[in-house]
Homo-oligomer: A and B are copies of this chain.
Amino acid sequence: MDVTVAHDGPEDCAAVKPVLARIGDKWVVLIVRLLGRKGPRRFNELRREIGTISQRMLTLSLRGLERDGLVTRTVHPTIPPRVEYELTPLGRSLMVPINALGNWAFAHREEMDAARARFDRLHGAAEAPAPPAAAAGPADAVFKG
């Protein structure tokens, strides 16, 4: 298969870094997907839908996304305050590669599972036994939402 794309090389190094940093943040991916699915959300709506994210992390994640121009933060000066987050066009376009990654993961999950199982069987199976609920639980909640 052809893995060589237009600019496989050096030129986009600096550009790739921040993006990787963003999507490397698990919360960010969940948030982007949530916002991409059903439109704008309020702070505590997101919080509830994700399930286990701390308000701190949600705030930080949203700030980062806002900073990068991926989401907009709209404050409605009402009482009580109402703040809505929404994907920008740029944010929506990011969903394409994110989903591509998701598709890849889905398509090859059995291969990876098998590979990991085999590796763990051969070597010490002591490592990475069961990811803490904090990692698995919340993600499930989000994607099921």
Contact = CB atoms under 8 A, between A and B. Distances in A.
Interface stretch (A42-50, A51-59, A95-103): A95-103
Contacts of A37: 8
B68 A105 contact: no
A20 interface: yes
Given A9-B143, A10-B143, A92-B1, A16 B68 contact: no
A37, A93, A99: residue with the most chain B Cβ atoms closer than 10 Å: A99
A18 interface: yes
Contact of A136 (B14, B94, B120): B14
Contact of A115 (B68, B118, B142, B143): B68
Where chain A touches its partner, the secondary structure class is helix
Q: How many copies does the complex hold?
A: 2
Contacts of A19: 101-102, 104-105, 112
A17 interface: yes
A108 B90 contact: yes
Given A9-B143, A94-B104, A99-B5, A14 B109 contact: yes
Contact of A16 (B94, B105, B116, B118): B105
A67 B119 contact: yes
A3, A33, A112: residue with the most chain B Cβ atoms closer than 10 Å: A3
Q: Closest 9 CB pairs between A and B?
A: A69-B115, A24-B24, A13-B143, A15-B109, A12-B106, A19-B105, A3-B95, A67-B119, A5-B99
